[in-house]
Chains A and B, each alone.
Chain A
Amino acid sequence: MSNVPADLKYTQSHEWVRTLPDGTVEIGITDHAQEALGDLVFVEVPDAGRSVKAGEACAVVESVKAASDVYAPLSGEVTAGNPQLASQPEAVNKDAYGAGWLMRLRPAAGALAAAALLSAADYQKVLDAEGG
């Protein structure tokens, strides 16, 4: 059974989104996603200042046998990529919802509402449908 915290929002493509007090959002991949990928050996995160559109590939997570793109759940400007992951990609495996965050975004106007993110319960249904 995967860990799906109730206070986060989710995407069909297994990203999570946390709204921070300053109005920016933190983005990562879910516990289910890290488990499916296996031990990560490399994570590439976007540089601060980059503008991304919802659905755009903006980070790469690579395990020994697979490499996957991470898609921006919503449009906005990157305020930070997680600098720890360059030397400690395993943080995503160990703590997908905490130390393993990938990037922070300042959402474009209305982008958060437009993103149609899933609640924890709805994301759990996605996982159940996938057999996870």
Chain B
Amino acid sequence: MAFIPHTAADVAAMLSAIGAPSIEALFEEIPAELRVKSLAGIPEELNEMQVGRLMSERARADGLALNFIGAGAYEHHIPAAVWAITTRGEFYSAYTPYQAEASQGTLQLIYEFQTMMARLTGMEVANASMYDGASATAEAALMAVRANRKSRSARILVPQTLHPHYRRVAVAAAHNQGVKFEEVPYGPETGVTPLAALSKYEGEDVTAIVIPQPNFFGRLEEVDTLTDWAHARNILVIAVVNPTALAILKPPGQWGARGADIAVGEGQPLGVPLSSGGPYFGFMTARMEHVRQMPGRIVGRTLDVAGHPGFTLTLQAREQHIRRAKATSNICTNQGLLVTAATIYLSLMGPQGLARTAAACHARARELVSVLTQVPGVRAAFGAPYFHEAVLQLDRPVAAVLRSLAARGILGGLDLSAYYPELGQALLVCATETKTTQDLERYRACLTDVMQAARAA
């Protein structure tokens, strides 16, 4: 079935109207060496029936493993109503509307999303969302460089306890814009960023520090101490937070004496299913004094000419359709569909529901650590407190253990050896509210078998 409505005669008529000999001739301006000549490596076309069959086979191959991997994307229960409502025709759009104010419903939804994120993070203003947690972190670094007018260095301190992918994305996105990221080591016994690691920056020009909470190891950083240290030295604070955890942890707006300056994070835990890495969405909130340096779209509430309340895109002079090359960023869209799901998720859960979910995650993770460290050869790398993840160290090779567990239908966690070789045979495990005591017991029993087999081998 052809989905292009133009016939060969239509195409010929259009070409002749503009005096072009062929469609190919329209691309002459693009230098030949820049044009893709072949699509080698891309498989032959399949029809709809064949694609459907291929996808079901691949879905079966994924299986229905019992999942204990977190590391930035988390398995949570999503009430059925979330996607039933999100996929209604009134909401089902992936994109911000071009004629924004004609879509009052969409704008109201984004406004309510912003309100929820501002309240969850304890900050004064939120934008309409970012692509994901990693790119939101990179944008926060660029925003801090613009906002901190007392600093000229564009130096950003980044703890090694920040997600390794976030660190790489931040460098990729901001390095060529002159932003310098400097990694701060963690305490080898504690798994958190010690204040002492910052003493070498005393008296130096530093623009901002990133503080992850919980950090990549699941551990809770000493956010008040770090925030106050930074603010006493005119260093801005960028919080990178898990939105579920915020239901029970102190929000970034209350860190230390003055609160963080910018808060960002991955929004996936709020109603977005794990889906081979995405699409997810990022969120960003900030203190009002920095709003003009904030990237992305912002929806505001206003009154129309007749005095009726309505919603509008606001502070658009920051954006590239007005400010061109000097715009605060090239982000001029948001993750509309996923923000819709998150807004519905949060409104169904409510503050109490989200807090119960967070508390259940924490309780399950504690139970998981307690159960798994009973297995001979398994120990917890760091102490408490942690949220819903923890690092375990094994006395056998982690990669082989994970393969054996996967063969038994268990995704046992993330092998940390490539990211943190100094931790040895280390494994990042996660348990959310979706795991039952029986699930944890099954993991323990399988791990015991696998470790025994590995020892015998």
User: Which residues of A are at the interface with B, using a C-beta cutoff of 8 A?
Assistant: 41-42, 44, 47, 62-67, 69
Indicate the size class of the contact surface on chain B. Answer: under 10
Is B317 in the interface zone, CB < 8 Å from A? yes
Do B322 and A67 have beta carbons less than 8 Å apart? yes
Contact residue among A44, A47, A65, A69 (Cβ-Cβ distance under 8 Å from B322) = A65
Do B149 and A67 have beta carbons less than 8 Å apart? no
Contact residue among B150, B292, B322, B326 (Cβ-Cβ distance under 8 Å from A42) = B292
For the complex with contacts A42-B292, A65-B316, A66-B317, 18 further pairs of A-B residues with Cβ separation under 8 Å are A41-B317, A42-B317, A44-B292, A47-B149, A47-B150, A62-B292, A62-B317, A63-B317, A64-B317, A65-B317, A65-B322, A66-B322, A67-B317, A67-B318, A67-B322, A67-B323, A67-B326, A69-B326
Distance in angstroms between the alpha carbons of A66 and B321 in the assembled complex: 10
Chain A residues within an 8 Å CB radius of B318: 67
Chain A residues within an 8 Å CB radius of B322: 65-67
Distance in angstroms between the alpha carbons of A68 and B316 in the assembled complex: 13
Sampled A-B contacts (21; CB under 8 Å): A41-B317, A42-B292, A42-B317, A44-B292, A47-B149, A47-B150, A62-B292, A62-B317, A63-B317, A64-B317, A65-B316, A65-B317, A65-B322, A66-B317, A66-B322, A67-B317, A67-B318, A67-B322, A67-B323, A67-B326, A69-B326
Question: How many A-B Cβ pairs are below 8 Å?
Answer: 21
Residue of A whose beta carbon sits closest to that of B327: A67
Name the residue among B149, B316, B317, B326 with the largest chain A CB count within 10 angstroms. Answer: B317
Chain A residues within an 8 Å CB radius of B317: 41-42, 62-67
Distance in angstroms between the alpha carbons of A80 and B273 in the assembled complex: 53
Distance in angstroms between the alpha carbons of A41 and B322 in the assembled complex: 15
User: Which residues of B are at the interface with A, using a C-beta cutoff of 8 A?
Assistant: 149-150, 292, 316-318, 322-323, 326
Chain A residues within an 8 Å CB radius of B149: 47
Distance in angstroms between the alpha carbons of A63 and B317 in the assembled complex: 8
Chain B residues within an 8 Å CB radius of A66: 317, 322
Distance in angstroms between the alpha carbons of A67 and B316 in the assembled complex: 9
In whole Å, how far is B217's beta carbon from the nearest beta carbon of chain A? 40
Chain A residues within an 8 Å CB radius of B150: 47
Distance in angstroms between the alpha carbons of A50 and B108 in the assembled complex: 42
* Among all A-B residue pairs, the 4 with the closest Cβ atoms: A67-B317, A62-B317, A67-B323, A47-B149
Chain B residues within an 8 Å CB radius of A47: 149-150
Distance in angstroms between the alpha carbons of A128 and B326 in the assembled complex: 29
Distance in angstroms between the alpha carbons of A66 and B316 in the assembled complex: 9
Residue of B whose beta carbon sits closest to that of A64: B317
Residue of A whose beta carbon sits closest to that of B319: A67
Chain B residues within an 8 Å CB radius of A65: 316-317, 322
Residue of A whose beta carbon sits closest to that of B326: A69
Distance in angstroms between the alpha carbons of A67 and B149 in the assembled complex: 19
Distance in angstroms between the alpha carbons of A69 and B326 in the assembled complex: 9
Chain B residues within an 8 Å CB radius of A62: 292, 317
In whole Å, how far is A66's beta carbon from the nearest beta carbon of chain B? 6
Distance in angstroms between the alpha carbons of A44 and B146 in the assembled complex: 12
Residue of B whose beta carbon sits closest to that of A57: B326
Residue of B whose beta carbon sits closest to that of A63: B317
Chain B residues within an 8 Å CB radius of A63: 317
Chain B residues within an 8 Å CB radius of A44: 292
Distance in angstroms between the alpha carbons of A47 and B292 in the assembled complex: 17
Name the residue among A44, A63, A66, A67 with the largest chain B CB count within 10 angstroms. Answer: A67
In whole Å, how far is B337's beta carbon from the nearest beta carbon of chain A? 29
Chain B residues within an 8 Å CB radius of A67: 317-318, 322-323, 326
Residue of B whose beta carbon sits closest to that of A47: B149
Chain B residues within an 8 Å CB radius of A42: 292, 317
Distance in angstroms between the alpha carbons of A3 and B150 in the assembled complex: 37
In whole Å, how far is A3's beta carbon from the nearest beta carbon of chain B? 25
In whole Å, how far is B145's beta carbon from the nearest beta carbon of chain A? 15
Distance in angstroms between the alpha carbons of A65 and B326 in the assembled complex: 15
In whole Å, how far is B386's beta carbon from the nearest beta carbon of chain A? 42
Chain A residues within an 8 Å CB radius of B316: 65
Chain B residues within an 8 Å CB radius of A69: 326
Residue of A whose beta carbon sits closest to that of B323: A67
Distance in angstroms between the alpha carbons of A66 and B326 in the assembled complex: 12
Residue of A whose beta carbon sits closest to that of B289: A86
Chain A residues within an 8 Å CB radius of B292: 42, 44, 62
Distance in angstroms between the alpha carbons of A44 and B317 in the assembled complex: 13
Distance in angstroms between the alpha carbons of A127 and B292 in the assembled complex: 31
In whole Å, how far is A47's beta carbon from the nearest beta carbon of chain B? 6
Residue of B whose beta carbon sits closest to that of A44: B292
Name the residue among A47, A62, A65 with the largest chain B CB count within 10 angstroms. Answer: A62
Residue of B whose beta carbon sits closest to that of A69: B326
In whole Å, how far is B303's beta carbon from the nearest beta carbon of chain A? 15
In whole Å, how far is A73's beta carbon from the nearest beta carbon of chain B? 20
In whole Å, how far is B457's beta carbon from the nearest beta carbon of chain A? 66
